[in-house]
Structure 1
Amino acid sequence: MGKILIFCAMFLLAGLAWADSVKEMAEQGNAQAQAKLASLYLLGREGFEKDEHKAAEWMEKAAKQGLLDAQVVMGAMYDKGMGVNSDRDKATDWYEKAAKQGHATSLAILGRNDAAKGSVQFNYQAMRLNASRSIPGEYAKKFLTTK
């Protein structure tokens, strides 16, 4: 039993050291680290209390540096009003930036996905609403699992 407790403590300390390293790199301007730090705040992981405002602040820093997935997350956060005031125009601007880089979901959200146009009764508003609900959490998990 003692060995298990020691292992758990070491695992926890390694996770906290990793999170501190991410925070340090984010503060130095690394866009990927900024998105990871935002994800830690968004999900409330690795000793970071869930804070949508801090998540939005850090994610926007990464998005402004051109990090594609961070731009998509910012679009969703502005659509939903998650950590920022809800603003459809700002959301659209972020989706536009991602769409210009060929991001398929952003293209679909903006009604520019040829495959979706050919489908019967495709509802862009419903897709945008669903995207704003799912993108932040799903992309946050993705940021935390990438190098």
Structure 2
Amino acid sequence: MRKLLWLCLLMAQMNPAFADNIKQAAEQGNALAQAKLASRFLLGRDGEPKDEQQAAHWMEKAANQGLVDAQVALAAMYDRGLGVTSDRDKATQWYEKAAAQGHGTSLAILGKNDAAKGSVQFNYQAMRLSASRSIPGEYAKKFLITQ
């Protein structure tokens, strides 16, 4: 997996047209390209400076088109206040949209998975806080290697 990520990043660095194609596709409304561009801004990759506000802008465009992983990433960004003003209600709305599509992590964060229905004592608030720290970066890496 790391070799594949390295190869994709190397291709983008060696071929500026590769990176420009993603930006052009994002501007034309391609949801996956929008998530990739958001990821480039979030991580400061492929010639884009690190810019969390631009990352949130492009991730929201992808999320509005129903890209479930973008919805989850944006939800975590709202939970954390990463590129946007921290807003738990907006974060919950985005997690709800992803959960409606069957996204397991979102279901767990919202306490709507099977464990929540059982007698297992679980701190969902701590899980949500942890998720808000890890999801944006991890999903951004995932978007960058997605074809």
TM exceeding 0.5: yes
Amino acid at match of 1:35: A
Q: 2:13 aligns to what?
A: 12
2:58 equivalent in structure 1: 58
Shift in Å, 1:105: 0.4
Mapping for residues 1-147 of structure 1, pairs under 5 Å: 12-14=13-15, 16-118=16-118, 120-147=120-147
Aligned-partner Cα distance in 1 for 2:81–2:66: 21
**Unaligned ranges ≥5, structure 2:** 1-9
Whole-angstrom CA distance in 2 between matches of 1:129 and 1:73: 13
CA distance in 2, matches of 1:96, 1:82: 19
Shift of 1:50: 0.4
RMSD of equivalent CA atoms = 1.6
Tell me the secondary structure at the aligned position of residue 122 of structure 2. coil
1:79-135 superposed Cα distances (whole Å, 9 cap, x missing partner): 000000000000000000000000010001101111354364210000000000000
Cα distance in structure 2, aligned partners of 1:10 and 1:40: 14
Q: What residue identity is the alignment partner of 2:84?
A: V
Quote how far apart the aligned CAs of 1:20 are: 0.6
Indicate conservation of the 8 Å contact 2:35/2:58, yes or no. Answer: yes
Displacement, 1:72?
0.3
* SS of residue paired to 1:50: coil
Unaligned stretches of 5+ in structure 1?
1-8
Q: 8 Å contact 2:75–2:94 — kept in the other structure?
A: yes
The CA deviation string for residues 5-40 of structure 1, in whole angstroms up to 9 with x for no partner, is xxxx997331x2211110000000000000000000
Structure with max Cα Rg: 1
- Distance in 2 (CA, whole Å) between partners of 1:17 and 1:129 is 38
- State how far apart, in whole Å, the 1-side matches of 2:120 and 2:113 are: 13
- Give the match's secondary structure for 2:58: helix
Report the Cα distance in structure 2 between the residues aligned to 1:26 and 1:139, rounded to whole angstroms: 17
Aligned residues: 138
